[in-house]
């Protein structure tokens, strides 16, 4: 309604189509941007998580190797002698 109290003749909602070429073009542009951004974000997150998992795996292997080395250094000499005797015995049997 205008300030004069009469309805606006120029703007009737029922006379204007909802789907025009411009509205469909805007919708398609938004969909294309959404798909492109979704793909880019998915690829980046996948790569970052993969690198993070490899870093964690490498750190776990390093820690396990360090623990094994420390265990061998501080192992009781009788354990080492038994292990070397068992290895020698298995070499002779094969």
If residue 21 lies in a helix (H) or strand (E), which one and from where to where?
helix 21-73
pTM of the complete model? 0.47
Which pLDDT score, from 0 to 100, does residue 37 have?
98
- Tell me, what's the pLDDT at 65? 83
Q: What is the mean pLDDT of each run of 10 residues along the chain (94 residues)?
A: 55 70 93 98 96 93 81 65 67 64
Distances 64 to 21, 27, 51, 59, 92 between C-alpha atoms, Å = 64, 55, 20, 9, 31
pLDDT at 67: 79
Tally of CA atoms within 13 A in the half-sphere of 29 that contains its CB: 6
Task: Name the helix (H) or strand (E) containing 86.
Answer: helix 77-93
| Angle 27-38-41 from CA coordinates, rounded to 5° | 150
């Amino acid at each position: 309604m205008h300030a004069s109290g009469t309805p606006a003749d120029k703007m009737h909602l029922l006379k204007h189509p909802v789907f025009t070429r411009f509205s469909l073009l805007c919708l398609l542009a938004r969909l294309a941007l959404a798909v492109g951004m979704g793909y880019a974000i998915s690829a980046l997150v996948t790569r970052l998580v993969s690198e993070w998992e490899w870093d964690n795996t490498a750190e776990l292997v390093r820690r396990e190797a360090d623990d094994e080395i420390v265990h061998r250094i501080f192992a009781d000499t009788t354990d080492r002698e038994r292990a070397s005797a068992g290895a020698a015995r298995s070499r002779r049997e094969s």
